Structure 1
Amino acid sequence: MEYIRDQQRLEQYLRQEKILCLFETENLDFRLVRYQKGELLTSPFKPLPDFLFLVQGKIKIYGLREDGSSFSISQGGDHCMLGDMEFVQRNFSMFYSEAMEEVLCVSLPIEKNRAALERDCTFLNYLLQCVAEKVLMSALVSHAAQPIEERVLTYLREVRPDHTLYGINAGVMQFHCSRRQLQRVVKKLCEEGLLEKTGKGKYKLT
């Protein structure tokens, strides 16, 4: 992890990603940080001291089973925040978060701002959404025996606020299936009128 001292760039990301709109609290100490490809942002053994708002690059969030095999929780892109579980459980993280490429994040120290943020209703509402999404994704993983079609529909109805699937490759990680299986399911759901294609690789629940 590397802190980037570039106030102009930081302010650009705060405006561009509308991060300040997530808070009622003013004058928070935001910073800009960089992670290299393959670097862990969080793990159960690496307490996360800051909230991290992903502003550039992609990460993957996953867990490990007792036998050492991994299971994907999500593939984070725009508007992804880390630190929600640590804020609630005080430095506890259930999952690993790994940079899939060079990643830039806006960071905010957790403990330094805890007292103010615990009274910030706008932020707490956003925090609740983030925690709920991770819990729902974890539940989907535990029901991996369900047909892929059901997992896709549940994910788009219950997890994604905009009810949109962003790309087949990301979906393969979400639903633990092959690319061909997911393409077949998406095509079927489109033909049935349950999904509509809204752009290249983008499918929205109707």
Structure 2
Amino acid sequence: MKKYYDKALVEEYLANSSCEAFLRDLRDSLFVIRYERGEFVTSPMNHTELLQIVVEGTLRIYYIRDDGSSYSLANGQKDYLVGEMALFQKEPGSVYAQACDDLICLAFSIRENREKMLASCRFLQLVIASLTRKMEAITRLDAAPATLKQRVLVYMQYKCENGELKGVEQAAFRLNCSARQLQRILNQYETEGIVTKQGKGNYRMNRPLPEQTE
């Protein structure tokens, strides 16, 4: 990720965005962020309190439930908003936004511009339209449930610090399965070299999962 504060560059991207009219009251706070393919734009572990608008490229938005199951929410392209929920809530959720290719966004700090954002009717219209589209996408969502074996790895990668599961019984409760079922799966993954046993009830992933796909 790289940030650019050159005003000419900001104006160039802003002029090519359909969001320009809505951002008129905030243009002095805008800067440009470039992401490489695979980089996280937002995640629960990296809560930056930035509002970002896609100007080039595509990102993938997906959600990780507490039981390790996951589903894709949307693919964000030009003029897609990321981070607007941080305007209303400070605690990060379990939603991940990840660059599918080289991605360029216009961005500004929510914390530094909160009062200005809430006072701008134009900007709030943009936020309401964005949230409405996202709610419609969620209500149409029909994701196939993952198997318990799949959910175990997703849970380890996204819900365990450094991909390390500590405590089989506690993890089994979160995964809605028995400790015996979970132990059997962990033993299989250990045999396959996917996880390494660090100690009693303690397992670490040896490699991350592949990128999410549709």
Checking the alignment, whether the CA contact within 8 Å between 1:48 and 1:86 is kept in structure 2 is no
Aligned to 2:16: 16
Checking the alignment, whether the CA contact within 8 Å between 2:18 and 2:79 is kept in structure 1 is no
Task: Tell me, yes or no, if structure 1 residue 138 matches structure 2 residue 141.
Answer: no
Measure the CA separation in 2 of the matches of 1:93 and 1:4.
27
Residues paired across the two proteins, number: 146
Aligned to 1:41: 41
Larger radius of gyration: 2
Aligned to 2:83: 83
Q: Structure 1 residue runs of 4+, over 3 Å off?
A: none
Q: CA deviation at 1:8?
A: 2.1
Checking the alignment, whether the CA contact within 8 Å between 1:23 and 1:123 is kept in structure 2 is yes
Measure the CA separation in 2 of the matches of 1:67 and 1:94.
12
Q: CA deviation at 1:50?
A: 1.3
Q: What is the 5 A alignment of 1:110-129?
A: 110-129=110-129
Task: Tell me, yes or no, if structure 1 residue 28 matches structure 2 residue 43.
Answer: no
Measure the CA separation in 1 of the matches of 2:36 and 2:133.
26
Measure the CA separation in 2 of the matches of 1:128 and 1:85.
10
Measure the CA separation in 1 of the matches of 2:24 and 2:36.
32
Q: CA deviation at 1:5?
A: 4.2
Letter in 2 for 1:41: V
Q: Deviations for 1:142-185, whole angstroms, at most 9, x for unmatched residues?
A: x558xxxxxxxxxxxxxxxxxxxxxxxxxx94xxxxxxxxxxxx
Cα–Cα, structure 1 residues 126 and 116, in superposed 2: closer, same or farther, change >3 Å? same
Cα–Cα, structure 1 residues 138 and 94, in superposed 2: closer, same or farther, change >3 Å? farther
Measure the CA separation in 1 of the matches of 2:20 and 2:77.
18
Letter in 2 for 1:75: N
TM-score of the superposition, structure 1-length normalised? 0.64
Cα–Cα, structure 1 residues 27 and 96, in superposed 2: closer, same or farther, change >3 Å? closer
Q: Deviations for 1:30-87, whole angstroms, at most 9, x for unmatched residues?
A: 1011111111111123213211111111100001134423211001111101111111
Measure the CA separation in 2 of the matches of 1:123 and 1:107.
14
Checking the alignment, whether the CA contact within 8 Å between 2:64 and 2:94 is kept in structure 1 is no
Checking the alignment, whether the CA contact within 8 Å between 2:53 and 2:82 is kept in structure 1 is yes
Checking the alignment, whether the CA contact within 8 Å between 2:43 and 2:94 is kept in structure 1 is yes
Q: Deviations for 1:64-114, whole angstroms, at most 9, x for unmatched residues?
A: 134423211001111101111111213534410000111111111111110
Aligned to 1:181: none
| RMSD, aligned α-carbons | 2.1
